[in-house]
Structure 1
Amino acid sequence: MTDTTGNTQDTGAPPAPGSRPRKSSWKYIGPGIVVAATGVGAGDLVATLIAGSNFGYTLLWAAIVGCLVKISLAEAAGRWHLATGRTLFDGWASLGRWTTYFFGVYVVVWGFVYGAAAMSSSALPLQALFPGVMDLEWWGIACALVGLVFVWFNQYAVFEKVMTVLVGVMFVVTVYLAVRVVPNLGDAFAGLLPVLPDEKDSILNTLGLIGGVGGTITLAAYGYWVNAKGWTNTGWMKVMRLDNRVAYLTTGVFVIAMLVVGAELLHSANIALAGGDRGLVQLGDILEEEYGTATATFFLIGFFATSFTSLIGVWHGVSLMFTDFVTRGRKRAAPSRGEEIASGAREKSWPFRAYLLWLTFPPMILLFAGQPFRLVIVYGVLGAAFMPFLALTLIRLLNSDRTPRDWRNGILSNVMLALAGLLFLILCVKQIWDQPWSEFF
């Protein structure tokens, strides 16, 4: 609802497309919570735990730098949507057909493999909470179907509220664990100094921590969620920037809390944690031994909230991106495209629902058959290439006449995006180099 001046009144209702806020206010935040919840998955928490168990607090500074890098990327994506009134895929398409080919292959292969990974990640804590009830595969299928039904029948406003509740659960659990293990504040503050561990491959391990946590396609989806919230013009720019900072402040709390747990509970006892999502199940067993069943159960609930927010976040956000990918070829790009997303029409469209089905049903095959080796390699390469693709294309778009002059990159934005592009390019080359190509052919 808007008043006669075009400013949004404090009614609590979603703003109408074209409206402007009276002022930047905490009551507007929402897309940032969604992107934080979706971007931080179980695998990210395991990576941070392992960093803490291997290096103590030494890489705390790297985790914080990682959050600052992601702030710059998400802010750039949101600024493009608000400043131009066009979607990020509109911008990519303006750079040439190669972006369409890359994204088309990426979103199909990535969605197929990620769907199975998200199901397994959400199933693991449920299987640990309710042992003997169902096999892991059937828990995964149940989570996927619940996610499908939830996203299919609800639009952004309800989606955001549910994500906010789940983020609250994640926040309480991670902070509780960090306090429970009694952090060494002196060592923690020392970890803010940019020091590299005295071990082999320490630079690559550090870069991996900086780039890994919260760094997924959901950074690109942020602009779509901004539009879905009803923010479609530059009047919402200050609100978007506040919202984005809240997103990565929240992410920073998750990261720091889990690094504290790794440093205090695992590093001090010289306990090695398994890689992948199963490492969190192992942590649950360790917590039960140290602090009792109640703490372990509380942690598994937080583990499920972390995994399931990533599942439904991708089901919603990447489906919006896929819808834009499909419909752009059928319509001429126009400044009103952001308002079309804000109207909720895309969440009812056939491309949105088709991609939801693609994320849900074909990946179920992988739960039972195992992930095909060649497909996993292609998935790894495409996934590694996406983040440098995002960073470098944003630099191009936001320094050109595609963006109104007042909203183009400043020096700080260019420096941060260039650092992000270089960081992700190094990690991309490393991941491609590490693939077992000799076994591919």
Structure 2
Amino acid sequence: MKREWSKYFGPGPLIAAAFIGPGTVTVCTLAGVNFGYDLLWALGLSIITTIILQESAARIGLVTQLGLIPNIHRTIQKAGLRYFSIFLVLMAIVLGNAAYEAGNISGGSLGAELFFDLGSIRFLQLEINLMNLSIGIIALFLLYSGSYKLITRALTFLVILMSMAFLLSAMMVRPSVLDLIKGMVPTIKTDNILTIVALIGTTVVPYNLFLHSSLVIEKWKSIKDLKFVRFDTFLSVVLGGVVSMAIVIAGAAGSALEVSSASDLAKGLEPLMGSMAKYFIGFGLFAAGITSAVTAPLAGSLVITGCFGWTSNISGKPMRWSIGLILGLGLIFASLGIRPVQLITIAQLANGILLPLLSGYVIWLVNKKSIMGEFKNTIFMNVLSLMVWLITLLLGVLSVMKVLGLL
């Protein structure tokens, strides 16, 4: 019986850990501070969008027993288009993940520094924050353990604790049920459209599609396991979305007039929660940072090894060198004095270009009968998928326009 239940739980917590990073905490906090509960509906939409895309990517991985990059090699026949697609993915994911990694590490440090500050040291032109370095070392230790089981268990534990921290924070402020219901009714205004884009974009993450399609192969080998894959995906994405909503609720209830970093949320909640606000928010932010600091290099490394046809064995040299590259770049970026918001802007540009292209490829691939057989999309799923693709296209265009200063 125990073994049967264990089949229902796979890499889903890693997917949730990947999109609930410091960037998500900051965006959700700002949404709550500036718009109250009005944008909860945007997170509801992002949950549906993410479930559809992640389920498709996971189904492709399970049926083909290959990740998305090997499937690009396999299905795009024209060499020029194939190599261009792989180059675009490689550049966007590696640079984007390195930028996100810097934001993850810096954001995790903000949470930990609510408890204690390790200070910093200077090395050449870099000012190395010792808390950043500590988080990087912890992430490197987990990734170099060579065990997906250990990584999954460690991140599942942290995700559960992080979820409890944010959910308890939201419960302690006692939000009005009527106001929460009103927040699920879509409202779009000129002053909130960029926040809507940020809320959906911080949940629908391109590198999660690569991560998910590769990790399902480590857990499940038979198409008979599809029900387990779907359960794991649905539960994890919904849990992640609910946690994001809890952060919005806490932000809306706080007394902070502005939030320049997510750690300001703790100060804003002190009148409601007392000294406990520091511990709930500090740990939640730290856990969000460290879990995302593990998943970003892992996803990026799977892309790098897939692009060059190298082994994706986590203990192999190609994976270890790739993990070290992305984690190292993240630490360097975090030590250059660049604000995490600026780093995440770079990642948004990369993701804004990649997301509609990649989601379109996933939808195309999941409809190929020669690849998916009887497990290709139904007409109903295609209608939903088309709506999702239009959302990702809009997100991509708006993200690029925002970064270029056109909005």
What is the TM-score normalised by the length of structure 2? 0.88
C-alpha displacement at 1:388, in angstroms?
Answer: 1.2
- The equivalent of 1:6 in structure 2 is none
- The equivalent of 1:31 in structure 2 is 11
C-alpha displacement at 1:62, in angstroms?
Answer: 1.9
Contact 1:81 1:87 in 2 (8 A): yes
Structure-1 separation of matches of 2:45 and 2:112: 33
Specify every segment of 5 or more residues in structure 1 that has no aligned partner in the other structure, as ranges.
1-9, 13-21, 329-339
Structure 2 CA distance for partners of 1:27 and 1:400, relative to 1, 3 Å: closer
C-alpha displacement at 1:375, in angstroms?
Answer: 9.1
Equivalences for residues 105-254 of structure 1 within 5 A: 105-131=91-117, 133-134=119-120, 137-194=129-186, 196-197=187-188, 199-229=189-219, 231-254=220-243
Structure-1 separation of matches of 2:176 and 2:256: 16
- The equivalent of 1:45 in structure 2 is 25
C-alpha displacement at 1:381, in angstroms?
Answer: 2.6
Whether 2:303 is the aligned partner of 1:321: answer yes
- The equivalent of 1:427 in structure 2 is 395
SS in 1 for 2:314: helix
RMSD: 2.7
For residues 221-258 of structure 1, the C-alpha deviation after alignment (integer angstroms, 9 at most, x for no partner) is: 112111122x1231111110011111112112202211
Structure 2 CA distance for partners of 1:27 and 1:405, relative to 1, 3 Å: closer
- The equivalent of 2:371 in structure 1 is 403
Contact 2:35 2:252 in 1 (8 A): yes
Whether 2:72 is the aligned partner of 1:78: answer no
C-alpha displacement at 1:289, in angstroms?
Answer: 4.6
- The equivalent of 1:19 in structure 2 is none
Structure 2 CA distance for partners of 1:402 and 1:85, relative to 1, 3 Å: farther
C-alpha displacement at 1:434, in angstroms?
Answer: 3.0
SS in 1 for 2:151: helix
What is the TM-score normalised by the length of structure 1? 0.81
Whether 2:325 is the aligned partner of 1:381: answer no
Letter in 2 for 1:209: L
SS in 1 for 2:113: helix
SS in 2 for 1:369: coil
Structure-2 separation of matches of 1:111 and 1:263: 30
Structure 2 CA distance for partners of 1:436 and 1:386, relative to 1, 3 Å: closer
For residues 84-125 of structure 1, the C-alpha deviation after alignment (integer angstroms, 9 at most, x for no partner) is: 222211222222222111122223322432332222122111
Structure 2 CA distance for partners of 1:416 and 1:282, relative to 1, 3 Å: same
Q: Equivalent pairs: percent with the same residue?
A: 24
For residues 370-424 of structure 1, the C-alpha deviation after alignment (integer angstroms, 9 at most, x for no partner) is: 4599998764432212221221001111122442331111123222322222222
Q: How many residue pairs align between the two structures?
A: 393
C-alpha displacement at 1:216, in angstroms?
Answer: 4.1
Contact 1:381 1:432 in 2 (8 A): yes
Structure 2 CA distance for partners of 1:192 and 1:366, relative to 1, 3 Å: closer
Contact 1:392 1:417 in 2 (8 A): no
Specify every segment of 5 or more residues in structure 2 that has no aligned partner in the other structure, as ranges.
77-81, 122-127
Structure-1 separation of matches of 2:119 and 2:350: 36
Structure-2 separation of matches of 1:88 and 1:402: 16
C-alpha displacement at 1:64, in angstroms?
Answer: 1.0
C-alpha displacement at 1:298, in angstroms?
Answer: 2.6
Letter in 2 for 1:188: L
